Amino acid sequence: MGMTFKQKFNKKYGFKLSEPHSIREISKITGYTYQGLKKIFEKGEGAYSSNPQSVRKNVTSAQQWAYARVYASVSNGSKANKIDKALLKPRKGFHIMKSGAIMKDSDMKTKKVSY
């Protein structure tokens, strides 16, 4: 079986694969706003309750399903990332690149143009 989005997230950012993170921590790590991630979390909780047939057997709570959606949403190229793109806003001091990657404004290199 492949890695979960949580495991991919943890591998990308250098954490133990099973380490959990709060929404606020995910916001600080990724550069996305807390408010946007919270809305995605709430969508996940709602989906758990309103569409129980889509919930995998190993998921035991609405919060577990919601966190899975948050981790998937912050993973570029995932289905959840495309669906929740409008909610994924960069925090102040961050910028979303055309590739979907997010960077600190201070890390962006500016090109000097000479004439």
pLDDT tens-digit readout, 81-95: 999 989 988 877 777
- Whole-model pTM: value is 0.80
C-alpha 7/C-alpha 35 separation (Å) is 23
State the total domains in the chain.
1
Domain range for 62 is 5-12+21-106
Start-to-end Cα distance in the chain:
55
Q: Rounded to whole angstroms, what are the CA distances from 23 to 68, 73, 86, 108?
A: 11, 12, 17, 25
pLDDT at 114 over 60: no
Taking residues 18-27, what's their average pLDDT? 96
**pLDDT score, position 98:** 63
pLDDT for the residue 10: 95
Residue 113: inside a domain, yes or no? no
More confident residue, 19 or 51: 19
Does some domain include residue 26?
A: yes
pLDDT of 113 reads 47
More confident residue, 110 or 3: 3
Residue 115 lies in a domain: no
